[in-house]
Structure 1
Amino acid sequence: MTGGSSGRSGPPDASGSCATIAIYSVKGGVGKTTFSANLAWCCAVSSGHRTLLWDLDAAGGSGFLYGLEAKGSRLAEEVFSRERSPDALIQHTAWANLDILPADESIRAVDAQLAQIGKRKRLAKLTEELAGTYERIVLDCPPVINELSAQVVRAADLVIVPLPPSPLSARAFDLVVREIAGNTKRHPPILPVLSMLDMRRALHRQAHEANPSWPSIPYASVVEQCAVHQQPVGALAPSSPAAQAFGRLWDAIDRKLAERH
């Protein structure tokens, strides 16, 4: 699957303002990119929102899951320095309403760059400008605690935290909450979600029983196949439990975001 130029067709409807959803964790390997790619697909395809998936992780996983690569190696830096408009880097996916701003290796230097330029809301300003075109912006965030993560918090209307099912899940979530609360006086709502939940495993059952109100996404081999086929699970296996779980999670998120207006 390859991507061409952005297929956007004008500004979003005036009936609703843009919302920025950050998928964030201080730990790697928890399903963050899988959440980002699949929730963005649900947002665009199921809800029909004009959606931008912005990959802020140097691993570039979100773009890869859609068969897209960055057009250069130093472009992310230029977006944050305002030497280049993000519009020039956005690519259209095979699905209507869904575009991607892929990551490149210069994302690694953005933290130092932001500290140097001293613009604490640079990411928030960029998302505000993109809101002229998109109704929803999904940020696939790097697993770090630094200036970039602080900027993510200032830009986001909602932070989703994927958590591995273990007795340490609540502790890990508390760490994220403290990090977010330390970077803004009025932090956005934070939603913990158990990822890769396998109810056959005792520790997973215990984590679920300890946090019964948390949504969950089940462990499923079809989710791993997303990277092989470079398609989201909703397109690859729409009737699978994983696809249905992502759909339910997105529907709940979308209802909450709609209640803001």
Structure 2
Amino acid sequence: MAGKNKTLPRIAGLLGGSSGKSDGPSGVSGATIAVYSVKGGVGKTTFSANLAWCAAQISGFRTLLWDLDAAGGSGFLYGLEPRCSKQAGEVFSKDAAPSKLIQKTSYERINVLPADESIRALDAQLTQIGKRKRLAKLTRDLGRDYQRVILDCPPVMNELSAQVVRAADVVIVPLPPSPLSSRAFDLVVREIAGNTRRHPPILPVLSMLDMRRTLHREQREAHPNWPAIPYASAVEQCAVRRQPVGELAPSSPAAQAFARLWAAIEKKLAER
């Protein structure tokens, strides 16, 4: 089990949350949080892994991090690998129960459903099954055991992304400050609006923000109310150390930024 984080009570107090020492707030309804973008390399997996940590350690929620990206980054960041090579996709066809594939991490209240190579065929599989809300049903079922389900989504626009939109209670869109990212955000908005009558709230987040760069400063000035995660070595070290930033650098600006982002997400969920 991971060691106690001495900075955690201070972060939790700042956000009005728990210190992460309880078994989780009772009476809290489950919610699914999708981290999604049509553009790769924007930090989705890093966001997903760190938000799962925030959900469990700051808010005290029993949390499932579900990796839907064949790259398998979320499991890797928690030091996990899939036990079998071709079962993650079978969850959708009812050939494998999610509970059999879920793995415990070394952190309290955080479990991971890792991806494997079978996820590559998931779009075709979902189309063949013909059930437009299969993912939504699975996340609802998992919500009986987990108060927060975090979806690490691949950068696609297909049946899988459509199902993600229908399953999510809020969609987080990481956006590195660039014109291409703004275009990607417009595509995400259209994708979400086109796949559900009442789409979930969308929360854009500036990622890898470097205020030394003119373009980044301009994007920050253009969107002052968007949450932002700074470009920082502590965030890069997540993949090297295979730990969330709140664990390896709890006093860093990056850890504080993820904590503030988590507070913004919980605020969105409270407004449902």
Q: Contact conserved, 2:39 with 2:181, CA < 8 A, in 1?
A: no
Question: What's the counterpart of residue 136 of structure 1?
Answer: 148
Q: Contact conserved, 2:174 with 2:207, CA < 8 A, in 1?
A: yes
Aligned with 1:249 (options 248, 254, 261): 261
Residue 234, structure 1, aligned to residue 246, structure 2: yes
Gaps of 5+ in 1: 3-10
Aligned with 1:91 (options 87, 103, 118): 103
Aligned with 1:116 (options 128, 138, 149): 128
Question: What's the counterpart of residue 117 of structure 2?
Answer: 105
Distance 1:168 1:202 in 2: 16
SS at match of 1:137: strand
Per-residue deviation, 1:13? 5.9
Q: Which moved more, 1:108-117 or 1:11-20?
A: 11-20
Gaps of 5+ in 2: 3-22
Question: What's the counterpart of residue 14 of structure 2?
Answer: none
Letter in 2 for 1:92: K
Question: What's the counterpart of residue 46 of structure 1?
Answer: 58
Aligned with 1:193 (options 201, 205, 211): 205
What do residues 123-177 of structure 1 show as CA deviations (whole Å, max 9, x unaligned)?
0010111011000000000000000000000000000000011134333211110
Residue 202, structure 1, aligned to residue 214, structure 2: yes
Q: Contact conserved, 1:55 with 1:141, CA < 8 A, in 2?
A: yes
Letter in 1 for 2:119: I
Q: Contact conserved, 1:218 with 1:242, CA < 8 A, in 2?
A: yes
Letter in 1 for 2:190: R
Letter in 1 for 2:40: G
Distance 1:259 1:181 in 2: 19
SS at match of 1:184: coil
Residue 127, structure 1, aligned to residue 139, structure 2: yes
SS at match of 1:26: coil
Identity value in percent: 75
Residue 68, structure 1, aligned to residue 80, structure 2: yes
Q: Contact conserved, 2:48 with 2:151, CA < 8 A, in 1?
A: yes
Moved over 6 A (4+): none
